[in-house]
Amino acid sequence: MIGSLGTRACTGSPALSPWCRKRNRRADAIEAAELVVTLEGLCKDPSRFLTYDEECGCFTEESLAGLVCTVGELLTWPSASNVIPGQVNFTVDIRAMDDLVRETIVASFSRIVMQRCDHRLVDCAVEHKHSAAATPCDPELTAQLKRATRSAVSAMAPGGHGHAGAESTATPVLMSGAGHDAMAMARLTRVGMLFVRCRGGVSHSPEEHVAEDDVWAAGLALLRFLDQHAVAEL
């Protein structure tokens, strides 16, 4: 699933730092930094910031568990070491497994941005660039992938034959916060996903590493999954 990506801009007036008195400073960079810290607190403990009018009372521990907020870019202008920034732009990426949670956090943070900027006499703008609804995987396909995975792991165990002890093998079900092709495919058909663990949880990086046994297990799980469908169609 993917949440909402937006841009927050705090704009003031650039000035040479040593010759600008504190009372005259338009502290755009400081305000942006404070907003980033506020966003962290909002996403770690939404109940501290949200009122019941904003549906906070409807949230569950499960729906909030997948809430992730990221500031991926923070740009200052004119970006000189001795000049107070006249403008600061930063992006915010908010993702959640519950659309209501995501939309409420976006609305709440947008309101906080404008309130803080009004308080500091800083001009601000909030631009919503992208929004996508959460896409749940099909429960039946997920159950079939779990059975196939247990069978594959059991088969690779010493003395394993693919079925004995398969039920005792724990198969975790994960929530993915990334945007996958499955989101687009879900408009046409049911979707399910099989994840292969990476060392340290690192992915999309030169440091990414998958153990050979895990690759074998994943391939065997897919084969067992396809076998289930082949048998079902006979």
Ordered alpha helix ranges (H), 3-138? 28-44, 61-65, 99-120
Taking Cα atoms as reference points, which of 215, 198, 220, 216 lies closest to residue 207? Answer: 198
Give the other-Cβ count within 10 Å of 149's Cβ: 24
E strand or H helix that includes residue 231: helix 212-233
146 vs 16: which has the higher pLDDT: 146
Q: Which residues of 59-98 are buried (b: 16+ CB within 10 A; e: fewer)?
A: beeebbebbebebeeeebeeeeeeebbbbbbbbbbbbbbb
CB 85 within 8 A of CB 27: no
- For residue 4, the model assigns a pLDDT of 38
**Cis geometry, peptide bond prior to residue 78 (ω within 30 degrees of 0):** yes
d(CA 20, CA 25): 6
Structural domains in the chain, sorted by start: 4-130 (3.30.70.360), 139-233 (no CATH)
pLDDT in tens, 135-188: 889 999 999 999 999 999 888 887 665 544 444 557 888 888 777 788 888 889
Nearest CA among 107, 78, 76 for reference residue 92: 107
Chain center to CA of 188: 24
**What's the pLDDT at 5?**
39
pLDDT of residue 94 exceeding 70 = yes
* pTM, to two decimals: 0.74
- Residue 34 has a pLDDT of 92
Q: Is 15 exposed, middle or buried (0-12, 13-18, 19+ CB in 10 A)?
A: middle
Helices marked H in 78-199: 99-120, 139-156, 181-185
d(CA 164, CA 151): 8
Residue 200: pLDDT band with limits 50, 70, 90: very high
- Residue listed under structure tokens 């600008």: 20
> Which residue bears the tokens 């997948």?
66
Q: What's the mean per-residue pLDDT of the chain? A: 80
Q: Which of 44, 122, 35, 42 is nearest to 86 (CA)?
A: 122
- Residue 26 C-beta-side C-alpha neighbours within 13 Å: 18
